[in-house]
Structure 1
Amino acid sequence: MDFELAGPSNGVGPPRKKMKHSAPRDSSRRDLASFPKDVLLKIFGYLDLQSINNCAMLCSTFYNLSKESSLYTSVTLKYNMSPHFLESLIAKVSCPKAVSIKYKPLDQHAEKENLLIFEKYVEILLRKCGEHLLSLKIEGCRSDKVLLNLKDCICLKRLTLYRCKSSFDVLAFLCHLTSISFTSCHFPQKVVSELIRANPNLKYLFLSNNINVNANEICEIMSKQNPEMMEVYFNERKKVRAKSLRTLARLTNLRKLVLKSSSGFECDPEDALELLAAGCSRLEKLSIHGWKEINDDNFIPALRMFTQLKTLDMRGTSITIKSCRDAALTLPLLETIDVIECNRIKRQQLISLRHDFEDINIPLD
């Protein structure tokens, strides 16, 4: 018995069977469709959404299997998906845990009609499944109407926004977040600060190249409102000052701290590193790029207290090889020292350091 594709061209319905005579088959061979359902679900679990949809058009067994909600715990909607595929996909999805929404890149032309159709399906999915979502990633959205549906994501734990622009008033409804990642987004004043204040269980924060994000204000809020914070990444236009860095010492669970700046920090760190080391005794990664005022005098005293450090990245600072050697001797768990672009450290000095401490990764370029 063979199968013939019949019915709607969009693959919404299963194919009909067509009988024809064929040679006897070897009884020891089995069709994939005859495998137990739990085995097939395991196999389908490795396929992407488009592949599952393609398989659904092969036979009624695969079609019925494609409607299993367990296959759609993670769903991606992309601007170039056909309306037929989007409609079929959303009909099958019931309670996904993670959703990713990808708009057309801003530098590519998109017809308004196609954009409206895509947004219609995005809204349907968020309204239908928002209450089940734990993770949401949105790329390139600039529609208040679409983002308004975030109010239905009442259990959301992880939110990622990339190149989005909106009033973002709806963010005020989110209060269970543990992870926030915003990159190249345009926010109104105070929106991000208020969001962080409203989520006391926040553990992961990534902010890079956004508009209207005040890193100093956020540091002060976190020190009071987010005691569970474990990872912080800042690469914002408004750079962290020494005063704000001191406040992070209250985050006693902090494991990773990354401060980046292409144009450098314009202040003296004073005793901020010492206070940070004393308060954040569990810190495993410290990365500070381009802070020219950090030197041996204000850095070495802090080293003795960074007892759990595994990664030390001080690119573009003014420390010398003395700080590097002291770090290698003082920190028992240290695995990596990166001091590229430190003008006071010569390549030959790093080669010598690598020879003396072969168990530590020390990049040369």
Structure 2
Amino acid sequence: MKYRVFSAVLGAVLAAASLSACSDHNTSDYEETTTAPTEETISETEVTTEAETTEPVTNNDKKKNSSAHKNSPSEEAVLNRQTILFTMDNGDYVYSAFVNETDGLKEVYVRDSRKGKAEELKLPESSLVMYSDGEKLYYYSPNEGLCEYDDGKSSLISKETKSEDEIPLRESFYFTEDTIYFAVSNDDGTEIKSVDYSGKLSDEVYTTEHRNAKIVGTYDDKLVCSYSIGTNEYICIFDGKKAPTEQKIGRYPFISGDMLYYTELNKLSCMPLDGGEAETVVDEKCTDYCFYNGKLIYTDGTAVFEADGKGSGSPLLDAKDLNKCDYISNISVSGGKLFVCGGSGAYWKCISETDEDGKVAEEIYAGVER
């Protein structure tokens, strides 16, 4: 998925913390600095999560009559989507924020109790939070690799996860209940390895000759990956010792039940993972989508719609329904709630929670114009 940035006002500046890298399974305490912000500047690097109990809408009557369980995104798939914010088990939100410093803006992560209290997480500079199980956070440190953050303490999962070039895409990692898959590219292509949460490396390795392959997810004990060749995107399905199967698709693939969803020429399509013809789900422009309360929700960049199963959708919310916004950046689901992010110009961003009817339930973040 695309990386997007969402900014908003923090006002009272979050105190800058001394940032240092974590060490392999260390027990060093990273104390969190606490402030009571009155304004907020939020920067979100990632987008789109889906609710667990959903039923995708398509034009195919047979698929529409399938059980919601069969065609719903699994909880595992939902938690691996790029997200605007992470909802913790106690209701806190974790998100990235920009704070003002003498030499300009600095990006940090904060844990917001939603009761007027925000704590800056003392993560290494330029870290990227990728995943949360509701209690712990998992982030990528540019200096060391994938790390665990738990109650102010950081530890490296495994040095094998370290990329030599740059911070990898979120899609380079995939988290399951007991395994973390990660993709490592080299001159010969991409190797997909895995570790458990203690950092023990598995002997099993999946390989493809294509560089910068990404991990889409798991399906029926198979590992699904994707890669680009020129302007085309393909999926590769690894099934045990069998030769991987490959098929051309669109961009930003996501597994929902037994279907693979993706965008192609700004239209949303899907295809059965077990084989079969692709079909168009949304004929209209689709720049982002998510599944929420049994419904397929999408945006064309100016408004949010509920798909009607006939290639179009019913409008739920317009960008102008958000605070000072004239476009929709993305939509996502986290903690069973639907969030919409809008903006205006290069810097003004607003993130709001909305209900399934498109009504703004709560404004979470709002930013300043520059």
> TM-score, length-normalised on structure 1?
0.25
User: Larger RCO: Structure 1 or Structure 2 (Cα < 8 Å, ≥ 6 residues apart)?
Assistant: 2
Q: Which one has the bigger strand percentage?
A: 2
Q: Which one has the bigger helix percentage?
A: 1
- Give the greater-gyration-radius structure (CA): 1
> TM-score, length-normalised on structure 2?
0.25
